Structure 1
Amino acid sequence: MSGTDGADGLPAAAAVDMGLDRAHGARIYDYILGGKDNYDLDRAAGEATLQVWPSLRIHMQANRSFMHRVARYLAEEKGIRQFLDIGTGIPTSPNFHEVVQAVAPESRVVYVDNDPIVLAHARALLKGTSEGRTAYLEADMRAPEKIISAPELIDTLDLGKPLGLTLIAMVHFIEDDDEAYRVVKRMVDMLPSGSYFAAAVATDDFDPVVLARVQEVYHSHGESLRWRTLAQAEKFFEGLELEEPGVVQIHKWHPDPVAVGRINDKDIAMYGGIARKP
């Protein structure tokens, strides 16, 4: 990647290679939710997916709501004041730091993503409270050592104190099960005792025939997608203390009272949970 750094140390947006040779999950997500930071391949993949699974928009809205509830829960209920959010996605307010800093303005957040378009918009992620701090790191979740040792992280978070690690709708981009479990375990192993790990894991348990076609669409547009069963989703939390109600469909995890009973299980293709590291 080339280009002149801006005053904040981020590469100038115009110099960023946007990687437009294939569709990208974050940009498909942005398109489905009505954003404008997406391209022809992303829109084609999104439309093709909607054709076979019209509930995609409901699912993605539920995923974003889950992220907000996770952030609020960790800040309000567990008193966590520093967070590592891997798989940030394209900035859409309210972002993770806005949710936690609304609870505790002193909260610190490090965002991690490897999508060039997220990097191009990363400045929007750095506008937090004056009391807290936010930072952005361009890195791949498959390289946890690089993440945990990055200056952006070390300068922002205190690795001697508990933090909240979030991998929301990310592990399905690692299709090899052994690699996915290894990556998550390595990251969790690096966390201090008393930290929390939250994840949302893609599943086809509730509508396998339709979601098999969704997987085909993603693959045909060059994007990864791996469905996992409940047992496979729970394996990501092995060795940790799950918070109630355990690993459940994301719309059922500490649900928004307004949404209770309004979402069909078949419309949601994601399990989620939070666990504490002893």
Structure 2
Amino acid sequence: MSGFEGRSVEEARELVRSSIDRPSAARVYDYILGGGHNYSVDREFARKQLDVFPDIRLAMTTNRQFLGRAVRFAVAAGIRQFIDIGSGLPSAGNVHEIADQADPDRSCRVVYIDNEPIAHAHARILLADNADARRHLALDADFFDRDGLWTRIVDSGYIDPTQPVCLLAVALLHFMSPEAEPRQTLAYYADQLAPGSMLALSHVTNDELPDDAAAEAVRNYASTANPVYFRTRDEITDLFGDWPLVDPGLVWAPLWHADPYFEAASSQQSDPARSKMLAALARKPERV
């Protein structure tokens, strides 16, 4: 297996070079994290957002750190399969890198999923250049495809649906409108997963956020391919359905299993709401 589907790596590289007509949320995220997979249109938009929300870099860094801690937590709990939906562009601390570092046997399998052509192209290049293609795969697919996407995941042979999986929906659902009903689609995937599986989720919130700042941020992102929709703490909690949350529950992202060795994470303990990001991990109960 090649580690990606569809276009060749060279075609993916050409797609990366040609996709620069409007800001991409994935590339903006990459730029703010200090990555190199972005263009002037993304950097200009990112600087505009930084003017509105000076803490946006803090929020994105915090989110990336949460992703790493959630993956390590899942590996420590015995999970060796990961599905990262809305994986975005390759940035420091990709899921397969974290999982491989945490698992000395290098037995983890990761399926990356993104429907943005530029993000998927970068994922293909990443896996071709520095990943074990026998264990890690990138799919060009849409979260809302449900049956079609799940069939492709299972048919790929990378994921065993009879064994627990950690499903990652990190900084994903705030790009989906309430009218699209992402809760129902997420519940579909949750139903497919084996008992003992985990769901790691983070989401921006307008709780404790000035209304004028929130409104301007929403207006700015509305001009991109990825509009943002804030949700309240209760609305984010509802996304987990009836899966019990692992302690400490839904908290500001810097507080979720905070790692004192991460300077950026520990420095936020005095005001974790600055992250603007709520995060939690839930585990599917064993069958009775």
Give the structure-1-normalised TM-score: 0.89
Aligned to 1:87: 86
Deviation at 1:44, TM superposition (A): 2.2
Residue 169 of structure 1 aligns with an amino acid whose one-letter code is A
Residue 114 of structure 2 aligns with an amino acid whose one-letter code is D
Query: If each structure's helix is expressed as a fraction of its own residues, which one has the higher value?
Result: 2
| Closer, same or farther: CA 222–96 of 1 in aligned 2, 3 Å | closer
Helix, strand or coil: the match of 2:181?
Answer: helix
Residue 75 of structure 1 aligns with an amino acid whose one-letter code is V
Distance in 1 separating the partners of 2:29 and 2:112: 17
Deviation at 1:81, TM superposition (A): 0.5
Helix, strand or coil: the match of 1:35?
Answer: coil
| Closer, same or farther: CA 29–153 of 1 in aligned 2, 3 Å | farther
Please say which of residues 35-44 and 135-144 is displaced more in the overlay.
35-44
| Closer, same or farther: CA 90–152 of 1 in aligned 2, 3 Å | farther
Deviation at 1:123, TM superposition (A): 2.7
Aligned to 1:67: 67
Aligned to 1:120: 121
Of the candidates 141, 145, 148, which is equivalent to residue 146 of structure 1? 148
Structure 1 unmatched runs, 5+: none
Give the structure-2-normalised TM-score: 0.86
1:22 corresponds to 2:22: yes
Equivalent pair of 1:45/1:221 in contact (CA under 8 Å): no
Aligned to 1:275: 282
Distance in 2 separating the partners of 1:107 and 1:116: 26
Helix, strand or coil: the match of 2:113?
Answer: strand
Of the candidates 220, 223, 229, which is equivalent to residue 220 of structure 1? 223
Distance in 2 separating the partners of 1:277 and 1:151: 19
Equivalent pair of 2:66/2:253 in contact (CA under 8 Å): yes
Equivalent pair of 1:167/1:199 in contact (CA under 8 Å): yes
Distance in 2 separating the partners of 1:114 and 1:178: 16
Of the candidates 252, 255, 258, which is equivalent to residue 252 of structure 1? 255
Q: Deviations over 1:150-193 (max 9, x none)?
A: 16763111011111100000001111256111111111111112
Aligned residues: 271
Distance in 1 separating the partners of 2:155 and 2:167: 12
Deviation at 1:15, TM superposition (A): 4.8
Aligned to 2:167: 165
Equivalent pair of 2:154/2:161 in contact (CA under 8 Å): no
| Closer, same or farther: CA 253–123 of 1 in aligned 2, 3 Å | same
Q: Deviations over 1:3-47 (max 9, x none)?
A: x943x7x84421568554432211110111122222233222211
Distance in 1 separating the partners of 2:242 and 2:83: 20
Distance in 1 separating the partners of 2:115 and 2:224: 18
Aligned to 1:50: 50
Aligned to 1:211: 214
Structure 2 unmatched runs, 5+: 1-5
Please say which of residues 110-119 and 231-240 is displaced more in the overlay.
110-119
Helix, strand or coil: the match of 1:273?
Answer: strand
1:232 corresponds to 2:235: yes
Distance in 2 separating the partners of 1:55 and 1:62: 10
Distance in 2 separating the partners of 1:224 and 1:112: 19
Aligned to 2:272: 265
Deviation at 1:268, TM superposition (A): 1.1
| Closer, same or farther: CA 35–153 of 1 in aligned 2, 3 Å | farther
| Closer, same or farther: CA 95–56 of 1 in aligned 2, 3 Å | same
